[in-house]
Structure 1
Amino acid sequence: MAFEAWRIPGRPLRALIARSPCLPLRYDRADDAMAEARLFDRWMPWAPGQGQCLYRACLLRAHLASRGLGSTWIFGVRTWPFSAHCWLQVGDVLLDDDLDRVALYTPILVIGA
């Protein structure tokens, strides 16, 4: 099943999760996943919607899967002021964010752990 990035805007979260590729995690390949995430980061300026964490995480997760790499998709919230955020990890390795930001959020949903 191909992941169609153009279908992200306006889609329910459950539909995005259902269509997101889910490969087994290989902790021994965390370095490979990080290298692919860095490469992906260099391409992101040419993608529309680059400031949205949900869009970015969907695209990166699909990119990693196309390379045979699994990832954990984490959704978190904070209560005051309310905010929601999502990011990708392999084990303890953050792929598309930094620790200072994700530490502000309490995970409420983990996909692909």
Structure 2
Amino acid sequence: MSISMVNERAGAPPSLWVRPLARVAVLLALGIAKLPPERQFALLEAFRRGARPSRVDEAHRARDAVLFVSVRCTGPWCLQRSIATALLCRLRGTWPEWCVGVRTEPFTAHAWVQVDGVPVDEDTEQLRYFHRLVVIRPRSGKGAPR
């Protein structure tokens, strides 16, 4: 993924018991980010099973925790950051919408999480130019896609 950005900062430090979970999510995300896209999507589809939809505050806190424990995730590595955020939400029983999109002029790709169609801690002005290619949504009800 290649959207240009400055390093981000985490908000409030996460609690001491969340930090190890965030580190696990970041390490898992690093491994998943190295896989071919079809394997990434399949794994994320599997991880989302059984999770309830995330609320905005849950996704925001997960993203902040990921930024707090990983310098790499504060930079331009949006794929690892977005996967780690989604996985940390999953470790806590929820799943946000995980998205990948592209912009054609200039060509760039980006990955992010959102809740109910609203990006979490992203520049919504820039994201409006992106065409979503993949959205892995939480399942609702009896396992039917939402």
TM above 0.5: yes
SS of the residue 2:133 aligns to: strand
Q: 2:124 aligns with which of 89, 94, 99?
A: 99
- Which one has the largest radius of gyration? 2
For 1:21-77, what per-residue CA distance to the aligned partner results, in whole angstroms no more than 9, with x for missing partners?
A: 213314xx32222222222222221x4795211111111111110011211011111
Q: Distance in 2 between matches of 1:107 and 1:11?
A: 20
Structure 2: unaligned runs, 5 residues or longer: 1-23, 139-146
Q: Which residue of 2 aligns with 1:33?
A: 59
Please give the alpha-carbon distance, in whole angstroms, between the structure 2 residues aligned to 1:41 and 1:107.
Answer: 24
TM-score (norm 1): 0.77
Question: Secondary structure of 1:8's partner?
Answer: helix
Aligned match for 1:67, one of 92, 98, 102: 92
Aligned length: 109
Q: Tell me the distance in 2 between the aligned counterparts of 1:36 and 1:9.
A: 18
Whether the 8 Å CA contact 1:72–1:88 is kept in 2: the answer is yes
Give the direction of change, closer, same or farther, for the CA distance of 1:76–1:35 in structure 2 (3 Å limit).
same
User: Does structure 2 retain, via aligned residues, the 8 Å contact 1:24–1:112?
Assistant: no
Identity %: 27
